[in-house]
Amino acid sequence: MWEYTDKVKEHFMNPRNVGEIKDANAVGEVGSLSCGDALKLMLKVDEKEIIVDAKFQTFGCASAIASSSALTEMVKGLPLTEAEKITNEEIADFLGGLPKEKMHCSVMGREALEAAVANYRGVPVPVAEGEVVCECFGVTDLEVKRAIEESHLRSVEDITNFTKAGGGCGKCLDRLQEILDEVTGSAKSRIIPMKGPARMTTIQKIKKIEDVLEREIRPALRNDGGDIELIDVDGDMVIVALRGACGGCSRSTTTLKEYVEKTLREQVLDTLVVEEER
Amino acid sequence: MNDVIYMDNNATTKVAPDVLAAMLPYFSELYGNPSSMHRFGGQVGRALVKAREQVAELLGADTEEIIFTSCGTESDSTAILSAVRANPDKHHIVTTRVEHPAVKNLATSLRNLTGHKYRVTSLGVDNEGMLDLDEYRKALSDDTAIVSVMWANNETGVIFPIAEMAAMAKEEGILFHTDAVQAVGKIPINLRELEVNFLSLSGHKLHAPKGVGVLYVKKGTPYAPFMIGGHQERGRRGGTENTASIVGLGKACELAGAWMSLENSKVRKLRDKLEEGLLASIPNSILNGHKTSRLPNTCNISFEYIEGEAILLHMDQYNICASSGSACTSGSLEPSHVMRAMGVPFTAAHGSIRFSLSVFNTEDEVDLVLEKMPAIIAGLREMSPFWQNRDKG
Ligand SMILES: Cc1ncc(COP(=O)(O)O)c(C=O)c1O
């Protein structure tokens, strides 16, 4: 079962503004039955371009219904130019957050809003253009690029969570990775370069290794009647001696590599190699 | 709030009170290792002998044909991998498109096994979830190492003609496995009369606890263990026995034998009342799966133009538990592979709800579900943009 916030549950059980506006002058329809969710957003915009009424009809899961309800509450009373700026993140935030697998429901809300605004202005919906990447869900490359940029997506899985692209047959996953690389590659120059692997002096290393040995590794080995001693640190090479029951144990190499080395790599430096003293 | 109305027994079942009672001593005073030489462990060993007899009795098998495992999934893996190893020169497996992931994903993984270029034939099903036996016969070849076909489908309850299919495999000299996790305890099974080489069952689907299962291996079937270790299960499945759960599973099999007639009278009646009631009171509701070749406890209905997760969460307000083949509940973005294999249209697949009953359900519960469902469905349809436009296409 999904972990929904109380606000999501509340908006799902008691959705606001369900229904139709007969004289709506801004209507946005997105999604389809085959996609598993769809939203029809209807707005009434007055002559001062203020949204005086908003209603919706939604086919979909709890988070799709809650996102639609939230969206109508958010836009009511707003000037169109303000409403336009609402992002999917803001819809999700209004609900106290959505599970990340359900973020596409908030994206659907934003898309419906854009479609409604475009409908009001009599212009084509902007993201309907572009080349379809995901055939299962009819997602275009422009939509994918936009989601990557706006929501700072960093993996293909994120893209699927936000746009549904790649969530069907999976044929487009490679293409999604390419688009991701394209977008984030071009973004790289703008991002402050990450610090390379931390440099540590040997003394610092020894101290940190001793800390981890004492705090985590020794207690675990002692449980099995064993012990470990740090003999030397030479560059990335960590020389240790296994004592007690571990000494003659046939599984000692496994313990060293699978447990000691892994733990030290995680907590000290990921290039460390642990060897047993000969 | 009323007590929980549990109609999700194909997902898992309640541990029967008698099963729990039978298990409890093995968590406390009777903690000995059944392999030990002392009498203290020996008495636990004797309890396992009894449990094995109880399982064998329900299946129409001999005790030497019963291997205790940790779950249905382990039984499925063991059977299929065993047949693969026993037939190193064969590189083909026949299965269906509607198997549980325990078989489906294993078959897919065989394709990628290094050194083996495995071919997998996944037989399709018709709109009612039934197989085409001609297509099945044609799929069998000299290269086929094993056939793995579920006895009853977990989502729809549809029953496959296992006796016939196993006989056809035998004629071709091909090993036959059936995942009977959903069938055992719900329909009578007599393995002595069948050409089934391997059968999997899982404790938690028949009122025993989670984490215990059985693999039946017919005498004379080539076998290679999956869990290699000690001499437990006569070397066919290493690992100190999960004694309490095995004792519980034995008891559950004994109960299942005694309850078999109830499954096919009381449970079936309740299911039919629920099914007929829902179909009659809710427009645009469609039964998924064959009407008669079906488990007595399962009913899968699509409510068109709305989505399953939303339905389930509304049902949850009344403490009614069921499940759905919709995309949103599975965590994937597409409706279940079973609904897709059956060609259930999208208007219906997303809104499919599975009710699966057990002997513990009552008529009052069915009445309450029948009372609550129409308003839930109508409320969600009121909200659906497709409901009002349904005839406009
Ligand atoms: C048909 C079928 N096979 C296998 C399994 C897996 O059983 P287990 O959960 O014991 O691994 C299930 C249970 O979900 C099932 O329904």
Q: Where along chain B do its domains lie?
A: 5-12+260-392, 17-255
Domains in chain A: ranges and CATH: 6-121 (3.90.1010.10), 132-189 (1.10.10.1100), 202-276 (3.30.300.130)
Query: How, if at all, do strands B298-303 and B92-96 pair?
Result: unpaired
Least CB–CB distance from B327: residue in A15, A36, A59: A36
- Residue A232 burial (CB count, 10 A): 12
Q: Which residues of chain A have pLDDT under 70?
A: 1, 126-128, 186-199, 246-250
For the stretch B192-197, contacts whose Cβ atoms lie closer than 8 Å and that sit 24 or more positions apart, written own/partner, are B192/B60, B192/B61, B193/B60, B193/B163, B194/B162, B194/B163, B194/B166, B194/B167, B195/B166, B195/B167, B195/B169, B195/B170, B196/B162, B196/B166, B197/B79, B197/B83, B197/B221
Judge whether B271 and B362 are in contact, CB under 8 Å.
no
Residue type (1 letter), B107: A
**How far is residue A277's CA from residue B233's CA, in Å, rounded to a whole number?**
42
What distances in angstroms separate CA A165 from CA A2, A175, B183, B381, one per listed residue?
21, 10, 37, 27
pLDDT in tens, A200-254: 777 778 888 888 888 888 888 887 778 888 888 888 888 888 887 766 666 777 7
pLDDT one digit per residue (tens) for chain B, 393 residues: 569 999 999 999 999 999 999 999 999 999 999 999 999 999 999 999 999 999 999 999 999 999 999 999 999 999 999 999 999 899 999 999 999 999 999 998 887 765 657 899 999 999 999 999 999 999 999 999 999 999 999 999 999 999 999 999 999 999 999 999 999 999 999 999 999 999 999 999 999 999 999 999 999 999 999 999 999 999 999 999 999 999 999 999 999 999 999 999 999 999 999 999 999 999 999 999 999 999 999 999 999 999 999 999 999 999 999 999 876 665 567 788 999 999 998 889 999 999 999 999 999 999 999 999 999 999 999 999 999 888 654
Nearest to B383 among A33, A57, A160 (CB): A57
Distance B169 CA to ligand 1 centre (A): 24
CATH ID of B5-12+260-392, from 3.30.1330.10, 1.20.120.530, 3.90.1150.10, 3.40.50.720 = 3.90.1150.10
CATH topology match: B5-12+260-392 vs B17-255: no
Interhelix angle B363-383/B268-281, nearest 10 degrees? 30
Give dist(CA B324, CA B288) in Å, integer: 12
For all residues of chain A together, what is the average pLDDT? 86
Name the H helices within B27-96: 39-59, 72-86
Residue B359 CA neighbour count, 13 Å, CB half: 20
A18-40 pLDDT tens trace = 999 999 999 999 988 777 889 99
- What residue of A is the nearest CA neighbor of B345? A34
Using the beta-carbon criterion (under 8 Å), do B313 and A15 form an inter-chain contact?
no
**Mutate which: A56, A59, A68, A98, vs B, most B CBs within 10 A:** A59
CA gap A24, A20 in Å, rounded = 8
Residue (of B288, B391, B392) closest to B339 by Cα position: B288
Decide yes or no: CATH 3.40.50.720 for domain B17-255: no
A105 is catalytic: yes
Residue closest to A242 by CA, chosen among A228, A255, A222, A253: A228
Q: What is the pLDDT of residues B222-258, one digit of tens each?
A: 999 999 999 999 999 999 999 999 999 999 999 999 9
ipTM of this predicted complex? Answer: 0.87
B71 is catalytic: no
pLDDT in tens, B292-327: 999 999 999 999 999 999 999 999 999 999 999 876
